Structures are given as C-alpha cells and as structure tokens.
Amino acid sequence: MAAKAKQAALKKLKAKAPLSPEVIAERKAAQLAREEKQAIARAEKRAAFEKQKADRKAAKEQAKLEKQEATPVVAPERTEAEKKAARDARYAKRKKRKK
C-alpha cells in the first residue's frame, strides 16, 4: 500500500513541469533579500548586545570607584601595649560583671 502511494507520488512529481529560469531567478533574489535582511538584523542585535555589555561594565567600574571613595580610612595599627591595655580593660570589665 505504502509502496503504491510512494510510486504514485514519484510519478506525479516527475510529471510536474520544470520551473522556468525567471521563477528560479526570482526565488533566488527573494532568498538573497531575506538573508541580507536577517544579516542586518543579526548585526543590529549584536551591536545592541555589545553596547549593553559595555554599559554594564562601565556601571560596574563606576560603582567600584564610588565604593573606593566611600570606604573610610583605615585606622592605624595599634601597638602591642595598646592592644594589651584594651584586652586587660575588657577582662577587668568581665570580672566585675561576674561578681
């Protein structure tokens, strides 16, 4: 059954008149126009993506600079004696609370 249908379809296809050169040329021109339009659309999309990427990078750099400017100046390191005095004060305070 399927073989008969296949043969009938092939016979019908072979009986079909070949396309004229004008129709072939017209279809090729239409295909080229479509491809060119798609290429332009791809290029525009890519350019928009690149611009967006650059904008994000610039915003990230700006935020980084602002964060650096907003960061407070680090206090100078304390000497061992100052650290020991602060530790002893905390210890004394803790001992006083427990009594």
In the chain, where the domains are located: 21-70
| Chain segment 66-79, per-residue pLDDT in tens | 888 777 766 778 88
73 Rama class: left (phi>0) / alpha (psi -120 to 50) / beta: beta
pTM for this model (two decimals):
0.49
**From the centroid of its chain, how far is CA 98?**
59
pLDDT on residue 16: 86
The arithmetic mean of pLDDT across residues 2-30, rounded, is 92
DSSP state letter for 65: H
Tokens encoding 28: 């090729």
